[in-house]
Structure formats: structure tokens, C-alpha cells
Homo-oligomer: A and B are copies of this chain.
Amino acid sequence: MGTGRARPTLEKVALRAGVSRATVSRVVNGSTTVAPDIRDTVLRAVQELGYVPNHAARSLVTQRTNSIALVLPEPSTRIFSDDQFFPGIIRGVGQELEVAEKQLVLMMASSAASHDRIEQYAMAGHVDGVMVASVHGADPLPATLTRMGVPVVCNGRPLGHSAVPYVDVDSVGGAAAAVRHLVNAGRQRIATIAGPQDMVAGIDRLAGYRTELRGSTRRSIVAVGDFTRESGAVAMRQLLEDDPRLDAVFVASDLMAHGALGALRDAGRRVPEDVAVIGFDDIELARYTEPPLTTVRQPIVDLGRELARQLLRLADGEEIEPFVVLPTEMVVRASA
């Protein structure tokens, strides 16, 4: 157990201060209707005994826990790769929860079976709300929880028509801006390496590419990867084979772009002279590739913060907008 020495209870404090439990409770919870001298006496007793309110007892009666869950789909290729998505979200969420004095409970949704676990967990009143990150495909979890009365906000537009509020970055706009940059630079044969098409990020970035390209007179040249370096290299070789004369490629993630850069080098193409490359994410590594990678920055930490902010409002019973989309931003370096 390790409970160690018995923790003092309200009762003990009340006894010591010579008041009732109710008064101690009032003081601890910052009620104003307590005379200053009594207040001081109580606070001293609290101090001396090292009293800390018992969480379970408190939330049993208040029906709130002051903690919030963040659900991460464990097996995602993205989550644990070095694109810093996962740490970024956590950091942002953490920042926001810290000021709200809430705690973060992290849940890995490693398998379909764990969906039940998460559902149970939320239903057990463990947390006041749930943030679901990086939804893969049409995940039923957010909708289920919402139906159960649990406040839920998703990170990333859920696939399918879901009424669950979400926070996302403007992938479509970012991709379009990247393609526009290439067009403006006079590139004629602009290919793309898309992300997995069962993830919103993959879908949207491809959509942005397509839309923008359609606006110019160029045709689209598409290969699909899975956001990993390896897949980026493979896709790049594929593209080079499909159209040896391509002079630009928009890659849906920096990691894949890193792989593509390697493939391009192996194929004897110079970047950006022969082929311009633009990535997506602006991970740390992008500054250090050879050549440094032009890319589209997405505000990951802000995404996490916004996610938390929305959920907190929702959990407070406020109305929130059905979605929030954060802007992306082109970062021009040497590769395009």
C-alpha cells in the first residue's frame, strides 16, 4: 500500500482548531464568510498537521475530479516517430491545464479493446472530460463518450460526420500555400508524396495539393507514404520512375521529405536546382537537412493548448464552437 503515516482528516484539523468540520471546509475552500481570526487559527492547524484534502472524498460529493484525460492512439506511426507531434500536443495541453489547475491523465488506446477501458474509465467519473488526439479513421470513441454525457473534444477533424467538436490546423491551406510557392517559382511538374489516406492529416494535405494544382494548368503526380522516412524514400523513387522529369515535390511530412531528400540525392538530383522539395510540419530536423527544408509549419503546441482550452470550457458547461482551425505558415529555407 505505501500509505505511510495516516494522513490527517478534516475532523482532526477541526478538533485542533477548536471549530467544526464545516468551518475548516469553508476555510480550505476559500469561503469568505469566516471571521479572520478563526480563519487564521484554522490555517495554522492545517499547516501544522500538513493537512491535504482527500481527493476521493471530495470528488465523491462534488462530482468533479479536476482531471482531464488525453487519449492517444498508441500504434499510430505518427505518434511515436520523431516528428514531435506527440510531445508538442502534451506540452500545449499541459500548459493550459496547469493554469486551470487541472491534472492530465494520459491514456494509450493501444488496441480496440482499450476503447472499452477508456469508456469505462470516463464513465467511472475518473475525469471531467476527454481529449482524443489524432483520430484514425472513423473512430467511434468520441461519439460514444459524448452520448454518455462525457465532454469530449477531438484533435483533428474526425472522419465521417460527427457532431463532436474539434480543433485542427489548416492542412488544406498549408498544402495549397506550398504548391502555390512551387508554382510561383516556375515549377512545371509538381508531384506530391501524400500521407496515409485513413488519417485526416493525410487526406487534407493531399486535398490542398490537388485543389491548388487544379487552379494552375499542371497535372497531379501522386505517391502515397505513411509519414515515415522510409516510405518517403520509397515514394520518391516511385515518383522519379513515374515521371523522371518532375521538377518539384510537395511532401506531406518532414520525415517523409527527409527520406525523399535521400532518395533524390541517390538518384543524382540536386535540390533545389533540379527538384524543389517542400515538407510539412516544420520539425526541428528540417533546419538541419541537406539542404535545409522549406516546409509548412503547424502550431502543434498551440493546437494542444486550444484543445485543452476548448475542453475546459465545455466541461464548465459553456457552449463552444463546433470547430477551431489554426493557421499554418510557410517556412522558406533552401530546398524550394
- Assess whether A103 is in contact with B107, with CB atoms less than 8 Å apart: yes
| Number of residues of chain A lying within 8 A (CB) of chain B | 63
Copies of chain A in the complex: 2
- CB-CB contacts of A53-69 with B at 8 A, as 1s and 0s? 11111011001110100
- CB-CB contacts of A90-132 with B at 8 A, as 1s and 0s? 1100100010000111111010001000001101111011000
Complex interface: chain B residues within 8 A of A86 (CB):
87
Say whether A162 faces chain B, with CB atoms less than 8 Å apart. no
Complexed CA–CA distance, A81 and B128 (Å): 31
- Assess whether B4 is in contact with A148, with CB atoms less than 8 Å apart: yes
- Assess whether A123 is in contact with B90, with CB atoms less than 8 Å apart: no
Q: Which of A259-280 contact B (CB under 8 A)?
A: 262
- Assess whether A60 is in contact with B60, with CB atoms less than 8 Å apart: yes
Complex interface: chain B residues within 8 A of A128 (CB):
2
Say whether A133 faces chain B, with CB atoms less than 8 Å apart. no
Say whether A242 faces chain B, with CB atoms less than 8 Å apart. no
- Assess whether B67 is in contact with A60, with CB atoms less than 8 Å apart: no
- Assess whether A63 is in contact with B1, with CB atoms less than 8 Å apart: yes
- Assess whether A288 is in contact with B262, with CB atoms less than 8 Å apart: yes
Say whether A30 faces chain B, with CB atoms less than 8 Å apart. no
Checking B5, B105, B150, B283 against A67 with a beta-carbon cut-off of 8 angstroms, the contacting residue is: B105
Say whether A325 faces chain B, with CB atoms less than 8 Å apart. no
Complex interface: chain B residues within 8 A of A103 (CB):
105, 107, 121, 126
Complexed CA–CA distance, A198 and B79 (Å): 30
- CB-CB contacts of A38-82 with B at 8 A, as 1s and 0s? 000000000000101111110110011101000000100001111
> Assuming the A-B contacts A82-B283, A108-B98, A288-B258, are A125 and B54 also in contact, with contact meaning beta carbons closer than 8 angstroms in the complex?
yes
Complex interface: chain B residues within 8 A of A84 (CB):
80, 82
Complex interface: chain B residues within 8 A of A121 (CB):
103
Checking B65, B106, B107, B149 against A56 with a beta-carbon cut-off of 8 angstroms, the contacting residue is: B65
Which residue numbers of A lie inside 8 Å of B, CB to CB? 1-5, 7, 50, 52-57, 59-60, 63-65, 67, 74, 79-82, 84, 86-88, 90-91, 94, 98, 103-108, 110, 114, 120-121, 123-126, 128-129, 148-151, 229, 258, 262, 283-285, 288, 290, 314-315, 317
A-B pairs with beta carbons under 8 Å apart, 11 shown? A1-B64, A3-B149, A52-B120, A54-B124, A80-B88, A80-B91, A98-B110, A103-B105, A103-B107, A104-B105, A106-B106
Q: Which 7 residue pairs across A and B have the least CB separation, nearest first? A: A4-B149, A2-B151, A56-B60, A52-B123, A55-B124, A56-B59, A94-B108
